[in-house]
Structure 1
Amino acid sequence: MSFREDNEEGRDLRKPFLHTGSWYRMGSRQSSMMEKLGSSTMVIRDNSISVLLCVLIVALGPIQFGFTGGYSSPTQAAIISDLGLSISEFSIFGSLSNVGAMVGAIASGQIAEYIGRKGSLMIASIPNIIGWLAISFAHDSSFLYMGRLLEGFGVGVISYTVPVYIAEIAPQNMRGGLGSVNQLSVTIGIMLAYILGIFVNWRVLAVLGILPCTILIPGLFFIPESPRWLAKMGMMDEFEASLQVLRGFDTDISVEVNEIKMGIGLLVLQQASGINGVLFYSTTIFEAAGISSSNVATCGVGAIQVLATGVTTWLVDKAGRRLLLIVSSSGMTVSLLLVSICFYVKDILSEESRFYSLMGILSVVGIVTFVLTFSLGVGAIPWVIMSEVMPVNIKSLAGSVATLFNWLTSWVITMTANLLLTWSSGGTFTLYTIVSAFTVVFVALWVPETKGRTLEEIQWSFR
């Protein structure tokens, strides 16, 4: 057998496959590569374009994720009025997506392990679609709750699978920016829910929630499976073909092929900062701050979040993960402290006082700054780091546990936010301030910089 087949420079194309001890030869025929993956590869040939196209298709999943989170804010008053719910019952509705997401998070790692990243996203889309239909036709709380649970299950699977898929297909110099597209898409979904909620009633808004997943399902047929998952499952021909398609047919992938083989803390702190409490019930918070056009203010927050997360996708591979996390969590701490002080001062002032309206304006500024600084780092980067630091041999289990803790914390926040705000707005934001301050310390002491390192280098350093 010749080891220099189809190689004009005489380079030995036979390489040992890391961790398996087996040997393979790099094929030279592009048609053979495309046959391995089927018709999907016929539409993606260029290096960066192919990866970007894959990311844009799977980004429909986190758009669904964000739409689910943003749905409860513009619809709260109408759903309570139409179905006769109490504040506590609506809080249960708002938080049930997190309960479903916890179940989805537990299952997500194993689903992604056994049927692949693409298969996981396809499975996650189905309960999302059914859940939105159940909400749109709900005439009592039972259908409303069932639909929210189903949505949450799908979102739980999506929240683990999409960051992992993006990290596994992205070249190392693009991994941070492309990984941040996940959170950018979440913020776009939230903003869409806020804006559309102004113009359509809550039943029509639920029907519109079906769209991201109905587009995602056919889109999955046009992208390759994660090469790392294919390699782990022993499908070497498909693995090689997938990686060649993602990196470009003119690219020598032999070095990367040989290389291929804490998240919990960051993800818990991400949610414990109170971000979902603010986003889920932003309209109510703005009303408490004395803003008359609370729905418009909520849409403004959604737009700011999208823009800030877009900046993060550009900065994360330049400034680094760790620096952005420190800047982001520090800004969150200062802005939450401002909000809590403003609400405390408002409680002791009369509504006729000229400082009363000033405190309302400052509290809105603090909330907007909180969302802005959250989006600059803490929103996106924990998911990027989670997908980078998890060792491949335990990624499914460890990723599920990390995602479960994220959604468990999110459920606690969304379930208690309305009740805490009723108790004391200032006290609520003081608790969130303490968590954000601890996040600064946590990042400074324990989070490593992963910028510019391959997944294998990162995981080896942890060993």
Structure 2
Amino acid sequence: MDIQSERSRLLDADADADADADNALTGLLSEQDAYLSKVRNKKLYLATVASVLGPMSFGFVLGYSSPAIPELSVSADPRLRLDPVQGSWFGSVVTVGAAVGGLLGGWMVDRIGRKLSLMFCSLPFVFGFTVIIAAQNRWMLYVGRALTGLASGVTSLVVPLYISEMAHERVRGTLGSCVQLMVVIGIMGAYLGGLFLDWRWLAICCSISPTLLLVCMCFMPETPRFLLSKGRRQEAKEALQFLRGPDAPVEWECRQIENACDQQGSSFQMSDLKDPGVYKPLLIGITLMLFQQMSGINAIMFYAETIFEEAHFKGSDLASVIVGVIQVVFTAVAAVIMDKAGRKVLLIISGVAMALSTTAFGVYFYLITEMQSGRVLSVMLEPRSTAGGELAWLALTSMAVFIAGFALGWGPIPWLVMSEIFPVKVRGFASAVCVLTNWGMAFVVTKTFQDMMGALTSAGTFWLFASMCTLSIVFTMIFLPETKGKTLEQIEATFRGTSGP
């Protein structure tokens, strides 16, 4: 009887403990809901609009090479004329600068803050485009591209952090997706500008958005989480009041952030890499960046016009604009549904679409090769010029599906997840590692893309990209946690294996 009574008592105690935990969670959620009901997002949206001028500038840099390389390859000035190897360097040197910029940005955000880092990155954007505008030889073109790449690397790290640390959980996914949306708007703007402007005037237009970024950010606040991590509590409260509106009781959110900062300690040490709350999200962030680039997206975007010319698609410059429009539309769709559908679902859908489309693109190139070598009996009597034309719809459809799929998931979400999963004290270091991984792999893919097309054939190259997209689906399903609807502090607690603040 004593044993039975003791067992009953322990079971009752466990039930009471579970009930207390449930009540505490319910109480926290009700407090959170009550707080968010008083939040007004007007100035949060304003700060987001100002900051995403950086990604728009970044998009202009990425898109600039597509119309500029064909024009420079036939330049009347032999000092500026680019052969295929020099053109590949013109396209890919941006990624070298961006990799350095990622490291620089990781150092800057922890030293001078998110806001000042963002203002600083506007300077190499403007200087880089100025050097391109004034270019008298190929080396000036390379230096200008490297400077704009440096700024792009800083931007790709700082802006997602700035937005995620400003936004609350109900809109963080949507606002975080605006980073990629503005990148693709910039890319499309460069494509459209390339239809009407020569490469110098296009560079002038590309320098407008970073100039506006510098001016607008002067009036925006630093992020509350950075200010609290530096012990500047009053400034953090003022920043929160600016971002949440006059009616929000920001003291509650301020305490939640402070509690998370207290649990983490003061500053990052290399020994912290043994902490599962650090190394688990770091491995996930690195892997996401690897898969994003190994899908082949930057190779496809840098050489969009060249790919369509290789595919015998007439009006390749216009085709690139169409691709840009598709990317903008589907990135906007992703931004709208991000906080409803969740990150994992969109990544899986995105991976499936990219795997199918790159497989189809490989099939297209394989069929064209067979037609041109005379192995397909049904087209042996066709002129070679029309062989590609009959299948041009497959090239355009495959490209459109790939861009749409990428824009829905693997475009915006790796950057969004990177900005969500790291603890405050390691956010600069871990984000720098992820950005360096991303741009380092982007350089490898873009610089070797033409070599891969030669060694593996066009079909084999796209089938390689398809296999990487398939692996990304498996990774997402098994290893990636869902961050939808969670505060940054709750996400950190998930990796630590504890309850959130």
TM-score by length of 2: 0.82
Residue equivalent to 1:134: 131
Name the SS for the 2:170 alignment partner.
coil
* Deviation digits for residues 228-247 of structure 1 (CA, Å, limit 9, x no counterpart): 01111111110111011111
Runs of 4+ off more than 4 Å: 353-356
Residue equivalent to 1:352: 383
Q: How does 1:162-177 map to 2 (within 5 A)?
A: 162-177=159-174
Contact 1:263–1:390 (8 Å) recurs in 2: no
| One-letter identity of the residue aligned with 1:412 | V
Q: Does 1:124 align with 2:121?
A: yes
| One-letter identity of the residue aligned with 1:324 | L
Q: Which among 409, 428, 438 is matched to residue 406 of structure 1?
A: 438
Q: CA deviation at 1:371?
A: 0.6
Q: CA deviation at 1:249?
A: 1.3
Contact 1:102–1:403 (8 Å) recurs in 2: yes
Q: How does 1:17-416 map to 2 (within 5 A)?
A: 47-82=40-75, 83-260=80-257, 261=261, 262-350=284-372, 352=383, 356-416=388-448
Find the aligned partners of 2:390 and 2:479 in 1 and give their Cα distance. 39
The total of aligned residue pairs comes to 419
Find the aligned partners of 2:136 and 2:87 in 1 and give their Cα distance. 14
Q: In terms of mean alpha carbon deviation, does 354-363 or 343-352 score higher?
A: 354-363
Q: CA deviation at 1:420?
A: 2.7
Percent of paired sites with the same residue? 40
| One-letter identity of the residue aligned with 1:339 | F
Contact 2:221–2:239 (8 Å) recurs in 1: yes
Q: CA deviation at 1:357?
A: 2.9
Find the aligned partners of 1:325 and 1:416 in 2 and give their Cα distance. 26
Q: CA deviation at 1:119?
A: 0.6
Name the SS for the 2:391 alignment partner.
helix
Q: CA deviation at 1:256?
A: 1.5
Find the aligned partners of 1:152 and 1:303 in 2 and give their Cα distance. 23
Q: In terms of mean alpha carbon deviation, does 186-195 or 354-363 score higher?
A: 354-363
Contact 1:197–1:205 (8 Å) recurs in 2: yes
Find the aligned partners of 1:370 and 1:115 in 2 and give their Cα distance. 39
Residue equivalent to 2:266: none
Find the aligned partners of 1:236 and 1:369 in 2 and give their Cα distance. 48
| One-letter identity of the residue aligned with 2:121 | A
Q: CA deviation at 1:78?
A: 1.1
Find the aligned partners of 1:136 and 1:78 in 2 and give their Cα distance. 14
Contact 1:118–1:225 (8 Å) recurs in 2: yes
* Deviation digits for residues 93-137 of structure 1 (CA, Å, limit 9, x no counterpart): 110110000001011111011111111011111111111011111
Q: CA deviation at 1:418?
A: 2.9
Relative distance call for 1:90 and 1:356 in structure 2 (3 A) is closer
| One-letter identity of the residue aligned with 1:394 | V
Q: Does 1:460 align with 2:498?
A: no
Contact 1:160–1:400 (8 Å) recurs in 2: yes
* Deviation digits for residues 423-454 of structure 1 (CA, Å, limit 9, x no counterpart): 52112111111111111111111111000111
Contact 2:237–2:251 (8 Å) recurs in 1: no
* Deviation digits for residues 21-74 of structure 1 (CA, Å, limit 9, x no counterpart): xxxxxxxxxxxxxxxxxxxxxxxx982110000000011000011110000111
Q: In terms of mean alpha carbon deviation, does 258-267 or 224-233 score higher?
A: 258-267
Find the aligned partners of 2:360 and 2:148 in 1 and give their Cα distance. 35
Name the SS for the 1:122 alignment partner.
helix
For structure 2, the 5+ residue unaligned runs are 1-37, 262-283, 373-381, 497-501
Residue equivalent to 1:419: 451
Find the aligned partners of 2:451 and 2:127 in 1 and give their Cα distance. 30
Q: In terms of mean alpha carbon deviation, does 244-253 or 317-326 score higher?
A: 244-253
Relative distance call for 1:325 and 1:98 in structure 2 (3 A) is same
* Deviation digits for residues 138-196 of structure 1 (CA, Å, limit 9, x no counterpart): 12111011111111111100000000000000011000000000000000000000000
Task: Name the structure where helix makes up a greater proportion of residues.
Answer: 2
Residue equivalent to 1:22: none
Find the aligned partners of 1:219 and 1:378 in 2 and give their Cα distance. 29
Relative distance call for 1:233 and 1:54 in structure 2 (3 A) is same
Find the aligned partners of 1:356 and 1:291 in 2 and give their Cα distance. 8
* Deviation digits for residues 355-383 of structure 1 (CA, Å, limit 9, x no counterpart): 64333321221011101100001100111
Contact 1:332–1:369 (8 Å) recurs in 2: yes
Q: CA deviation at 1:263?
A: 1.3
| One-letter identity of the residue aligned with 1:410 | A
Find the aligned partners of 1:307 and 1:230 in 2 and give their Cα distance. 36
Q: CA deviation at 1:419?
A: 3.1
Find the aligned partners of 2:81 and 2:424 in 1 and give their Cα distance. 49
| One-letter identity of the residue aligned with 2:304 | S
| One-letter identity of the residue aligned with 2:349 | V
TM-score by length of 1: 0.88
* Deviation digits for residues 270-315 of structure 1 (CA, Å, limit 9, x no counterpart): 1111101111110011111111111111000001100000000011
Residue equivalent to 2:277: none
For structure 1, the 5+ residue unaligned runs are 1-44
Residue equivalent to 1:13: none
Residue equivalent to 1:439: 472
Find the aligned partners of 1:334 and 1:358 in 2 and give their Cα distance. 21
| One-letter identity of the residue aligned with 2:347 | L
Find the aligned partners of 1:49 and 1:80 in 2 and give their Cα distance. 47
